[in-house]
Amino acid sequence: MPKVDGARVLADLNRLRDFGRYETGVHRPTYSPEHTASLLWFAGRAADAGLTPTIDGIGNVLCETAKTGKRLLVGSHLESQNHAGWLDGPLGVIYGLEAARALAADPATAHVPVDVVSFADEEGHFGFFLGSRSLAGTVTEADIDAGQDRTRGTTMREALVAAGHAGKPRLVIPEGRYAGFLEAHIEQGDWLEANALQIGVVTSIVGIWQFRIVVDGVQNHAGTTRMAIRKDAGVTLNRIIMALEARMPEVAGERSVWTTGRITLEPGAPSIIPGRAEMLFQIRDADLATLERMESAIHEVARAEGAKGPCKVMSESLRKSLPAVMDGRIQAAIEQAGARHAPGKAVRMPSGAGHDAQIMSTRMPAGMLFVPSIGGISHHWTENTSDADIVLGAQVYADAVAAMAVTLGAGS
């Protein structure tokens, strides 16, 4: 099996941390100067490994091999959430690059064609999974026109110009080019750590469905409006939140989660009764039927609370990503590699977060490998994984890629 260079993996990951370093993590939003610099650095490292990198018109970096035959695709993303961790995304990119280097250096696997990719905007600063969806051929120019930075309000067109991507063609995966895709990621939860495990073999990736509930009341003076005639949008929204907390367990699955992620009251002043209230509500599960039950319950709660009055209530769907089941042959390849390097320390588990692998699964067999997150922390600058777990994960990943080449027919 190919042998990875653990010191090189750690050095590459730590070098990436220099781009947008923040506390012990990074602040590297999509299309920021720090993100652009990280892409250029990665492209250089890929070129050093004998790959040919192309940065396309949406900021994907596809690093292609000169070898012939059906290829394997590996990688993840390099941008971060705001003021977040240093491994969320980069771990999978560097694992992919190291696997390509390790396979090329081993005479038994040197013939295997491996391309490495860094997808743009997995973290959703301008949309959701824009890079992987673009590579899969499902992002339109209208989608890019509509893209807007959720933090600063900058349009995506403006950001692409500033980052130097405007005017470049967007790459799309040719039909039949790839035998399969593998992504590595930190777990972003504490299951592996809490159970003294080292490798997660991802079985499925949740669908993420997001909704907006809007309450229209009557804005009025907080001191002179009698309680009996008030139409307080905030009070009604609070009732809805409590009703959803009571209703969701009745329709959810064993691993379903739901979150009230944002609440806004207008005009948001202490002496004014809110005339409008809005909430964003998100549900996640790996089972489509469960998501559909939860969606129906959300709209039912909104209708019921609106019918009670005195405020009007509207609910709408904003986003739906479909759950994805990871390929069984790739799961087996990761599991076998885990048994070789970490006996008894690998486990099959679902992913509660969304990943580019679920988009790639629409175009080819796809799989994911998890390594532990210390304390289960992610999307925060204290996110971390031990060096030992990082190096072990890189070796398991490279072994799995070598096994995928056989079971999926890469190079043929």
pLDDT per residue over 35-92, tens digit each? 999 999 999 999 999 999 999 999 999 999 999 999 999 999 999 999 999 999 999 9
> Which tokens hold the place of 98?
């190291």
pLDDT of residue 313: 98
The DSSP annotation for 189-248 comes to: SSHHHHTT--EEEEEEE-EEEEEEEEEE---EETTTS-GGG---HHHHHHHHHHHHHHHH
Distance of alpha carbon 91 from alpha carbon 78, whole angstroms: 9
pLDDT of residue 412: 77
Residues of the chain under the 70 pLDDT cut:
none
> Which tokens hold the place of 113?
């064609």
Unique residue bearing structure tokens 């997995």: 122
- Topology of the domain covering 6-205+324-407: Aminopeptidase (3.40.630)
Q: Is the pTM of this model over 0.75?
A: yes
pLDDT of residue 164: 97
pLDDT of residue 1: 82
Class of domain 207-320: alpha beta
Bridge partners for 22 per DSSP: 25
Q: Are 61 and 165 in contact (CB under 8 A)?
A: no
Residue 141: exposed, middle, or buried by beta-carbon count in 10 A (0-12, 13-18, 19+)? exposed
The DSSP annotation for 367-396 comes to: EEEEE--GGG--SSTT----HHHHHHHHHH
Distance of alpha carbon 393 from alpha carbon 363, whole angstroms: 25
pLDDT of residue 322: 87
What are the angstrom distances between the C-alpha of 230 and each of 27, 270, 279, 303? 44, 15, 20, 20
Q: Are 273 and 232 in contact (CB under 8 A)?
A: yes
Would you list the domain boundaries of the chain? Answer: 6-205+324-407, 207-320
pLDDT of residue 411: 83
Distance of alpha carbon 322 from alpha carbon 314, whole angstroms: 24
pLDDT of residue 4: 98
Distance of alpha carbon 177 from alpha carbon 69, whole angstroms: 8
Residue 8 backbone dihedrals phi, psi, to 5 degrees: -70, -40
